[in-house]
Amino acid sequence: MPAKVLVVEDDPGIRMLVATTLQSAGLAVLEARDGVEAMDFIPEADLVVLDVGLPRQSGWEVLEAIRQNFGQLPVLMLTGHSDETNRVRGLESGADDYLTKPFSVRELAARVKALLRRSGRLGLIVMGSLKLSPGSREAWLDNDTLHLTPLEFDLLMTLAQAPGRIFSREELLVRHWGAEYEGTERVVDIYIGRLRKKLLTESDRLETVWGQGYRLRSD
């Protein structure tokens, strides 16, 4: 499953921006509005994006609790303060990285992925000898790189993130070619066929459910 990132931010606009950015990068996102709420989600998280200025319980207090109870869980701090004192305080308190508002969402995503890779928490989807990395958009078969086009990878990821679920041709067409696509659903069959050829020993996992669509078997 994808790595889970907990976003702790009281500003709903910033929280939504960060969450959307990380989801687009292939990560699962949990959200908390304040420090107290954050404590309920931390046990599930692989990384925490933590605002300093939180209501009820400050970011500093949450960071202290993380270091006391959850060891080396990666933490990236967000703050509106640009002065060196706050940056140093964050790092000395155990934060792994630090971003000052306003920040580039591309830089945020890159730093989050770097921290996940460094900590070994960047989630892989594993099905037999098939492995997929949502974060780096890489795939492997029997530990050899599986060379997929961007659209092939996206199609396989859709199926892999909901193993056993049947996706109709229409749903896959809208998701990956867009609602305005003027071709036929036959293009989905063509790409499924290409994936089967590349999956080799795992090709049987990609099942056709006659009259309904396609699914990827996880067992």
Average pLDDT estimate for 118-136: 77
Work out whether strand 47-51 and strand 28-32 pair parallel, antiparallel, or are unpaired: unpaired
- The first and second tokens of residue 136, run together, are 């780096």
Whole-angstrom distance, CA of residue 35 vs CA of residue 10: 9
| CATH class assigned to 125-216 | mainly alpha
Which residue spans of the chain are classified as CATH 1.10.10.10? 125-216
Q: How confident is the model at residue 123 (pLDDT cuts 50, 70, 90)?
A: low
Rg (CA), the chain: 20
pLDDT, tens digit, 9 for 90 and up, residues 6-23: 999 999 999 999 999 999
Helix (H, G, I), strand (E, B) or coil at 105: helix
Can you say how many angstroms the Cα of residue 176 is from the centroid of all Cα atoms in its chain? 18
Please answer whether residues 65 and 39 qualify as being in contact, where contact means their C-beta atoms are separated by less than 8 angstroms: yes
pLDDT, tens digit, 9 for 90 and up, residues 61-114: 999 999 888 888 899 999 876 666 666 666 677 888 888 888 899 999 999 988
The structure's pTM equals 0.57
Instruction: Tell me what pLDDT residue 138 has.
Output: 85
Q: Does domain 4-119 have CATH number 3.40.50.2300?
A: yes
Helix (H, G, I), strand (E, B) or coil at 98: strand
Can you say how many angstroms the Cα of residue 85 is from the centroid of all Cα atoms in its chain? 32
Which residue spans of the chain are classified as CATH 3.40.50.2300? 4-119
Contact partners, residue 28, CB within 8 Å, separation at least 6 = 1, 2, 3, 4, 5, 123
